[in-house]
Every structure is written in C-alpha cells, then in structure tokens.
Structure 1
Amino acid sequence: MSLLPGISLFALTVAAMEGFAYAMHRWVMHGPGWFLHASHHRPRTGAFELNDLYAVIFALPSILLLAGGVRWGWWPGCTWIGAGIAAYGAIYFGFHDWIVHKRLPHRHVARSTYMKRIVQAHRLHHVVETKAGTVSFGFLVAPKPEALKAELKRRERAGMRAPDRG
C-alpha cells in the first residue's frame, strides 16, 4: 500500500476510534462492564485500578492487526489500522491518564480552550459515581461544560458524589 492511502487509513482510524470509545464507554463500561469500570469512578489507591484492564482489552485488536499486517502477510491496510488504534490509545493515555487524572507527575496546566473543555467535561463525567446518570462519554470531542452542567441539573443530580468536606 502506498503512503498516502496508508496515512489516510491511519487518520480515519484515529478519528473513528473516538466514536468507538464513546460507544464502549457509554454502553459497555457504564453497562455490563461496570464491574471493571466502577473502580475508575472511585478514589484510586495504588498505581492501578481494575478499569486498567480495558486498556489491555482494547490493545489486543491493535496488536493483532499490526502483527497480521507486518508479520503474517495480511492486507497492508491492517498495519495502518492497527497503528491508528495504537495512536488513539497513546493519545487517550496522554490526555486521560496523564493530564486529566495525573497518574504520572507533571506540571502541565490546561490553558487552551480545547484542553480546558476536555478536562472540565471529564471532571463533570466523574461527579457521578454510579453507572447511570453520567454525562460526557467521549474524550477527544467533548460537549460544552455548560451543556453538561444543565444536563446534570435536569437529571436532578442523580448519582452525584457528595461534596468533599475535607
């Protein structure tokens, strides 16, 4: 496969992964997969949480496609798709785990309108500690915080965490 179609396939895969991540987060992680994801909505003790198994689960198709495309002679597009999935995972880790949840030490302060919006939308997602009633399931494309706050208010703050009195 030539470079331009490969890069296009890679970019389309990264973009499509946001839709996939939204669907998985909304209907699997906050549905039947809550038994793993619930750990992410509680304070973490230690370096890992049960929810981290999702990173392993979602990495498997990327690894399979990369191996198939590079080592096993599958259609060359598999390599580009696998790389796109891996790139989305790396971007997600950088934004979600590193910047938003500060799982690695850093001094980054969100200053751009885009970064502030992502961080605030994700924090509003986490004010709800139950599997239902949550808002904002995507990550790289986030609704306006004002819309999320209005939706939480409309839901009468169902499932919201009690304010921290500490």
Structure 2
Amino acid sequence: MELIFWIVIFIATFLMMEGMAWFTHKYIMHGFLWKLHQDHHKKDHSHWWERNDLFFVFYAIVSITFILLWRLEGLWIGLPIGLGILAYGIAYFMVHDIFIHQRFKIFRNANNKYAKGVRRAHKMHHKHLGKDEGECFGMLWVPFKYFNK
C-alpha cells in the first residue's frame, strides 16, 4: 500500500482518538465505570498507580492488537491505526500525566498560551469531584474560552 495512505490513516486515527477520549471520558469514565475513574478526581490514595490507569492499559491493548493484525495477519491498515493510537497515547500521557498532573517532575515551566489553556481547562474539569456536572472532557483540544483568559 502506498505510503500516503498509511500517513493519512495514521493522522486520521490520531485525530479521531481525541473524540474517542472525550466520549470515553464523558460517558464511560464518568458513567458506568466511575469506580475506576473516581480515584483520579479524589486523591484519597498515597500510591502512584490509580485504578484510572486501567483505561490507558485498555487503549494500549487496542493499539497492540491492531499492530499484531498487521504483523501476523497482513492487515495493512492495522499498522497505521495501531501507531496512531500509540501516538495519541504518548501525547495524552505527556500532556495529562506529565505536564498537568506532574507524575514526573518535568515540563513544569511551560507557560505558552496552549499550555495555560489546557491546564486551565483541566483544572475546571477537576473542580467537580463527583461523576456528574463535569466539563472539559477532552484533552489535547479544549474549548477556546480557556485560552482567552
């Protein structure tokens, strides 16, 4: 298959993952699987691992499955989809876990307009401690109102 198709599928997958993350966050994490996500909003634990991290594991398995479908079954589209999911997972981890929540103490001094907007939007999301009445369920693309303050 031509390289351009792989690149288009990779980019489309990466972009669609933001919608998937928003949907999963709003309707699954703040819905029927709130018990897994709850410890992320209520820091009532002293350990590094959160039950919420199981969502990351789920998407890692999906990514690996697509890559294996490409490798073992010859499904060409499996590689760009799997790598697109992987790339989004890395971006999400860098922005959410490292930059915003400082699980590793790097990127602490990022103060550009994008960084401030994403940080502000996520702070608004976390001001709601329960599963209802939340806002800002996306991660990499947040409403413009958070960039204009």
Give the TM-score normalised by the residue count of structure 2: 0.93
| Post-superposition offset of 1:146 | 8.2
The one-character-per-residue Cα deviations of 1:52-75 (angstroms, maximum 9, x if unpaired) are 11111121111100011123222x
The equivalent of 1:48 in structure 2 is 49
Q: Which has the higher helix share?
A: 2
Q: Structure 1 length as normaliser, TM-score?
A: 0.84
- Report the counterpart of residue 118 of structure 1 in structure 2: 118
Q: Which amino acid aligns with 1:50?
A: R
Query: Residue deviations 1:23-52, cap 9 Å, x none?
Result: 000000000010100010011421111101
Structure 2, unmatched stretches of 5+, are none
Q: 1:146 to 1:106 in 2, by over 3 A?
A: closer
Q: Which has the larger radius of gyration?
A: 1
Can you list the C-alpha shifts for 1:115-142, whole angstroms capped at 9, x where unaligned?
1101110011001100001110000111
**Separation (CA, whole Å) in 2 of partners of 1:98 and 1:146:** 20
**Counterpart in 1 of 2:140?**
140
- Residue in 1 that maps onto 2:86: 86
Deviation at 1:145, TM superposition (A): 2.8
Which consecutive residues of structure 1, in runs of 5 or more, have no partner in the other structure? 148-166
**Alignment CA distance shift 1:2-1:30 (3 Å):** same
Aligned residues: 146
* CA RMSD, 1 decimal: 1.5
Q: Partner of 1:3 in structure 2?
A: 3
Residue 77 (structure 1) shift: 1.2
What is the SS of the residue equivalent to 1:71? helix
Report whether the alignment pairs 1:33 with 2:33.
Answer: yes
Matched, 1:99 2:99: yes
Give the Cα separation in 2 of the matches to 1:16 and 1:46. 32
Aligned-partner residue type, residue 64 of structure 1: T
The 8 Å contact of residues 21 and 138 in structure 2, kept in 1 or not, is answered as yes
Distance in 1 of aligned mates of 2:50 and 2:32: 18
The CA distance in 2 between the partners of 1:126 and 1:51, in whole Å, is 14
Per-residue CA deviations over 1:69-126 (Å, capped at 9, x if unaligned) read 123222x111100100010000000000000000012253232111110111001100
